[in-house]
Amino acid sequence: MPYDDGGLLVSVGTSFEAFVAARSDALVRFAYLVCGNVHDAQDLVQDALVAVYPKWDQITVRDPMAYVCRAIVNRNTSVWRKLRRLVVTADVDPGSVTPTGEVDDRDWALSLLATLPPRQRVAVVLRVLDDHDYADVAAVLGVSETNARKLTSRGLTALRARLEERS
């Protein structure tokens, strides 16, 4: 997975410390778009990094970014986390409302993204927002490349439909 926006192309032998230093922002952004909450995003990334550290030597032989992203996705879709969020999300993010009471465009877009089923959301984030290929999407979601295409397509179709509904 060619995550190179942070100046480090993750490759075989990359140390855990170098990976964390270079990829933390990208990981938290990914987690944020997937879960929609900054605190949950940081929690997800931290939890995923701790979990992958003991296996780091084996992970770097393949693709650590995909592995960590998949760990984040698994945690985000955990049934227990989901139930826990039913309570947590009752809190209103003060940043989502402007002083005039209008919803910020960016938060409105985030809420639109959040209407997608989790797998479609991940597919759209990786393929469209992060510009990864379908093989990357498939690797993170643990599905075939064909299904990664289907998920992305369905997600975009759903977003377009919701945009039309609201226009």
Partner 1 sequence: MSELSEHGLDDVMAALRDRASSVRGSFDAGALAAAGRRRARRRRAALGGALAGVMVVVLGGGVWGLTTWADQSPQVAADPSDPVPAPTHQIPPVEVTVDTSGWPTYSSPQYPVTFQYPPDWTVGDLEGEPQLLDGCDTINCVLFVVPPQSSDAAPVELVRNGFAGSITAGSVVTFPSEVEVLGSVPGLSGWALDGQDQDGPGQVVVVSSEDEWGVNYSLTVAGSAANGLAFGAQNPLPDGPQTAFLFSTNVGNIGGESGGEYTQTLVAILASVQPNPGFAPTRPEDDGTG
Contact set with partner 1 (CB under 8 A)? 16-17, 20-21, 24-25, 27-29, 32-33, 38, 41-43, 45-47, 49-54, 56, 73-75, 77-84, 86, 102-110, 112-113, 117-119, 128-129, 138-139, 141-144, 147, 156, 159-160, 163, 166-167
Instruction: Give 2 or 25: the residue with its C-beta nearer to partner 1.
Output: 25
C-alpha Rg value of the chain to the nearest Å = 16
Whether residue 155 contacts residue 123, with contact meaning beta carbons closer than 8 Å, is answered with: yes
Residue 76 Cβ, how far from partner 1 at the closest point, in Å? 8
Q: Are 68 and 27 in contact (CB under 8 A)?
A: yes
Which residue carries 């929609």 as its tokens?
36
Number of other CB atoms surrounding residue 67 within 10 Å: 21
Asked if 113 and 124 count as a contact pair (C-beta separation under 8 A), the reply is: yes
Q: What are phi and psi of 123, to 5 degrees?
A: -60, -45
Nearest distance from C-beta of residue 103 to partner 1, angstroms: 5
Nearest residue (CB) to partner 1, 9 versus 146: 146
Smallest gap from Cβ 55 to partner 1, in A, equals 8
Least distance (Å) from partner 1 to the CB of residue 143?
6
How far is it, in rounded angstroms, from Cα 121 to Cα 154? 10
Q: Given the complex with partner 1, which of 9 and 21 has the nearer CB atom?
A: 21
